[in-house]
Amino acid sequence: MTTTSEVDTGTGYGRPKPSYNARLREVGPGTPMGEALRRYWHPIASSEALIAGALPQKTRVLGEDLVVFRDGNGRPGVVIERCAHRGASLYYGRVEDDGIRCCYHGWKFDVQGHCIEQACEPGLGRKRDAARQPWYPAAERYGLVFVYMGPPALKPELPRYDALENPAEDERYFASWPVPHAAVTGMPADFSWLNIYENSADPTHVTWLHSTHSGYQMMGTGTFGYPENFFDPATIAERLTYERTDHGLKYTQRFEVEDEAGEVTEYGFAVEQQLPNVFGLPDYVKVTPDGRPDQLLWVVPSDDTSHRLFFSIRTNDPERMVRFVIGITQNGKQNFELTDEERHRFPGDAEAQGSQGAITLDSEETLATGDRGVVMLRRMLLAMADDVEAGRDPINIIRDPSEVHHTQSGLFTIGKRRAVDSADAAATAGV
């Protein structure tokens, strides 16, 4: 007697070739998202770490290889890496009082790319005005050097954010990563900028990755930090709200804390995304409700498959910056201290986001209700690209220098109530 086994379903055989949404994820010149992102200012260096007259720094932004420097007179400059003369890298150039000089033949360019000297030419270059090093406008704010790489006629005002405006007399901006490889030009990572920017709109990863799967990774959890119920996966769906804001979107994650007197306080932990690539985070180590927001982060695409992360924190407490930098641990360690086995057993953001691939394959995703913020963010980014293609200013382009963006990230008190113990509950029920 012949028996027929049941046919397997859902196997990987014959599936379509995986693909990604190029309109959303490619950022080079001429691409829809690349052109949209070029309408904005982006951080390129830390002001404090970009020292006048020091060696130039090499970086990559939106698929273009750039050199950033500060001349001896203190002016920041951003130029294309290849020298306009014979193509040698200006990374090996020498910074002088009035510009940067190429190592190959001594041509010198100011921060706007004007050739001001050709060392080996008669009269130091009688036709030097004919040479122009491609450059981009640079400006400084909040402890960061910003660059604008878009159409010159459409250059907007450099944005201002109320979270970072009007520092108190004893406050300063912390905007430089305290590690050598990231101190000047930001923290690099070898995967798409959207892997991390979409993560900022994804609160459920905190509940699972940073607690249930890998153990509590936010320092102080259950003691001086956030309570364990903040991470409860069984209730996270009912504790989340998402909403559009004037500048993007935000999610609020509600949780409760009961004090020794039996008073229960409900808080809202709010994370906001301001397009195109800015997001605000509360202090995720120390529970400090109802204070003025004090931090923003920028995710700047280097190219399609890598990015750099920048931040600025306005504070009079250096420990605030320390909490941000080392406030998430894995097996009680910083990521660079982990063995391969520990990364495997206690993965964090770097492992999860990096494992999505250099570019997320959109065709391979199965989205659910917990991805609502990610879906909202993607739709808004695509609308931004649509606006640019239609000849309109995209969201958050500033033409009025007095305009200040309102920041809605932070930890906020929602309400208070008395805890109901078993005796009170019984009395209320008439038992």
Q: Is the dihedral of CA 73, 77, 83, 89 positive or negative?
A: positive
- Give the model confidence (pLDDT) of 281-312 as tens digits: 999 999 999 999 999 999 999 999 999 999 99
The residue among 209 and 422 whose pLDDT is bigger is 209
Q: Select from 42, 205, 211 the least CA-distant residue to 137.
A: 42
Spatial separation of the C-alpha atoms in residues 274 and 285, rounded to whole Å: 23
| Cis, peptide link before residue 276, omega less than 30° from 0 | yes
Spatial separation of the C-alpha atoms in residues 74 and 95, rounded to whole Å: 11
Here the tokens at position 385 are 């690209």
Q: Select from 94, 57, 45, 51 the least CA-distant residue to 70.
A: 51
Residue 431 has pLDDT above 70, yes or no: no
Q: What is the mean pLDDT of residues 90-105?
A: 98
3-state SS, residue 165: coil
Within 38-79, residue ranges assigned H as helices are none
Q: How far is CA 189 from the centre of its chain?
A: 11
Residue 3 has pLDDT above 80, yes or no: no
Domain 160-418, CATH among 1.10.3470, 3.40.1350, 3.90.380, 3.40.190: 3.90.380
- Give the model confidence (pLDDT) of 300-344 as tens digits: 999 999 999 999 999 999 999 999 999 999 999 999 999 999 999
Please, where in the chain does CATH 3.90.380 lie?
Answer: 160-418
What type of residue sits at position 4?
T
CATH architecture of the domain formed by 42-154: 3-layer Sandwich (2.102)
Q: Residues with Cβ < 8 Å from 276, sequence gap 6 or more?
A: 36, 37, 40, 381, 384, 394, 395, 396
Please, where in the chain does CATH 2.102.10.10 lie?
Answer: 42-154
pTM (predicted TM-score): 0.95
- Give the model confidence (pLDDT) of 160-199 as tens digits: 999 999 999 999 999 999 999 999 999 999 999 999 999 9
| Whole-number pLDDT of residue 422 | 47
| Whole-number pLDDT of residue 260 | 85
Q: How far is CA 177 from the centre of its chain?
A: 13
